[in-house]
């Protein structure tokens, strides 16, 4: 960071505006790698202002794309989509197919994050077509992996398996060990969704072996976290806790704030299931603090919802309602329709247990309306695509 700031000072002194924008971009990269997404966003906005001022359209597109990615990491999906779509327009106009495909892939991640799975699938399929055309094997593999994750969310498990196996074949062929580990991890998630927990654990352990071998600490932490989630799904909470604590230790070591928050949240859920409600609350509050600190709105909503579930379990319905309403408000703000439906359903359940059946009915009806809307839209989009 010190050298980047020194470079920035020199660029400013000699009046090199192009170099100044590049220096801001380099500072963004450092902040992003440290998990400080707010600072990364700030530096990228400074770079964008200069690119616009000097008429650097290519640099402007890159800045929009980078801003979109930073805001994606912050869980600000509405703004992320806006910036990525601006980048897309410039790249299409410039005929830059490589960057166009990268933006489609990132838009796919945005739509996946807010539960708009058909839109995510559409964007990723566009990215895949372009990357196949230009012969970018490594990125074809990466998009196939992302498509597998989206198809997993759509419940299309056979298709998800097909895409991740294609990605795995490419990564083995080109010798991308990290990509290979990611694929094994996705296969683990596929088999977990199918209820084949032994296979899920087997694939996650294969991913873990590679991550340890290549020294990918972030990947290693992710594997431990996913293993913790699988063991949690099978009711083996003490083993789940052990793996999640390993994941947490690595995330603290590498200063991955988002990973740290995720581990605290998952540990909070484990303690909740173990009936240790005070510990659950403690860990979820830690997760919530970090999510607010780094500006991860999706994570913040998730942890408010989990805290609501803890208070519901101890019979504190007022607190449960308070936290669930906060979660719902954020999900509406970021455009997460699926999360919004879940929020209404959770509030409906709390009012039902509290004996307020009129309110319970109202919230369950709202949840049902959104779920029907999502299902109808999905059916229409699939029919349109097949025509």
Question: Is the distance from CB of 370 to CB of 115 less than 8 angstroms?
Answer: no
Confidence (pLDDT) at 59: 83
> Which helix (DSSP H) or strand (DSSP E) does residue 58 occupy?
helix 57-73
Predicted TM-score (pTM) of this structure = 0.78
| Fold agreement between 136-215 and 217-295 | yes
CATH code 1.25.40.10 for 311-387:
yes
Task: Provide CB contacts within 8 A for 30, sequence distance 6+.
Answer: 1, 4
Question: Each residue of 207-264: pLDDT tens digit?
Answer: 999 999 999 999 999 999 999 999 999 999 999 999 999 999 999 998 888 889 999 9
**220 vs 248: CA distance, rounded Å:** 11
Confidence (pLDDT) at 15: 62
**40 vs 48: CA distance, rounded Å:** 12
Q: What angle do CA 303, 240, 75 make, to 5 degrees?
A: 30
> Which residue reads 């009129």 in tokens?
358
**218 vs 211: CA distance, rounded Å:** 8
What number does CATH give the domain 217-295? 1.25.40.10
Flag residues of the chain having pLDDT under 50: 3, 376-387
Confidence (pLDDT) at 136: 87
Confidence (pLDDT) at 13: 54
Confidence (pLDDT) at 384: 33
CATH architecture classification, 136-215: Alpha Horseshoe (1.25)
Question: How far, in Å, are 55, 351, 353, 355, 377 from residue 369 at the CA level?
Answer: 47, 18, 22, 23, 12
The domain spans of the chain are: 136-215, 217-295, 311-387
């Amino acid at each position: 960071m010190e050298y980047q700031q020194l470079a920035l000072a020199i660029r400013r002194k000699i009046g090199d505006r192009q170099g100044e924008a590049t220096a801001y971009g380099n500072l963004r990269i450092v902040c992003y790698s440290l998990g400080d997404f707010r600072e990364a966003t700030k530096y990228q906005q400074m770079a964008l202002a200069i690119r616009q001022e000097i008429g650097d359209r290519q640099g402007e597109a890159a800045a929009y794309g980078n801003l979109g990615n930073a805001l994606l990491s912050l869980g600000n999906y509405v703004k992320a989509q806006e910036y990525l779509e601006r980048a897309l327009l410039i790249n299409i106009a410039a005929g830059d197919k490589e960057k166009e495909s990268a933006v489609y892939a990132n838009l796919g991640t945005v739509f996946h994050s807010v539960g708009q799975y058909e839109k995510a699938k559409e964007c990723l399929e566009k990215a895949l077509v372009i990357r196949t055309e230009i012969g970018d094997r490594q990125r074809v593999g990466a998009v196939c992996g992302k498509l597998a994750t989206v198809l997993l969310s759509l419940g299309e498990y056979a298709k998800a398996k097909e895409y991740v196996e294609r990605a795995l074949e490419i990564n083995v062929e080109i010798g991308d060990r990290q990509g290979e580990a990611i694929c094994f991890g996705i296969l683990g998630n596929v088999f977990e969704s199918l209820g084949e927990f032994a296979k899920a654990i087997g694939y996650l352990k294969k991913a873990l072996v590679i991550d340890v071998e290549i020294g990918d600490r972030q990947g290693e932490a992710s594997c431990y976290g996913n293993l913790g989630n699988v063991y949690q799904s099978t009711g083996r909470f003490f083993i789940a806790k052990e793996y999640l604590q390993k994941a947490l230790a690595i995330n603290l070591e590498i200063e991955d704030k988002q990973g740290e928050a995720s581990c605290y949240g998952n540990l909070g859920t484990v303690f909740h299931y173990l009936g240790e409600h005070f510990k659950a609350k403690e860990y979820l509050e830690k997760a919530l603090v970090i999510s607010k600190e780094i500006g991860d709105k999706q994570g913040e909503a998730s942890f408010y919802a989990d805290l609501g579930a803890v208070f519901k379990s101890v019979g504190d319905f007022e607190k449960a309602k308070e936290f669930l309403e906060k979660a719902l408000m954020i999900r509406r703000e970021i455009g997460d329709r699926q999360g919004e439906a879940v929020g209404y359903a959770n509030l409906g359940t709390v009012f039902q247990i509290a004996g307020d059946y009129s309110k319970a009915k109202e919230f369950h009806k709202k949840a049902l309306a959104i779920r029907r809307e999502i299902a109808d839209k999905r059916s229409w989009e699939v029919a349109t695509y097949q025509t």
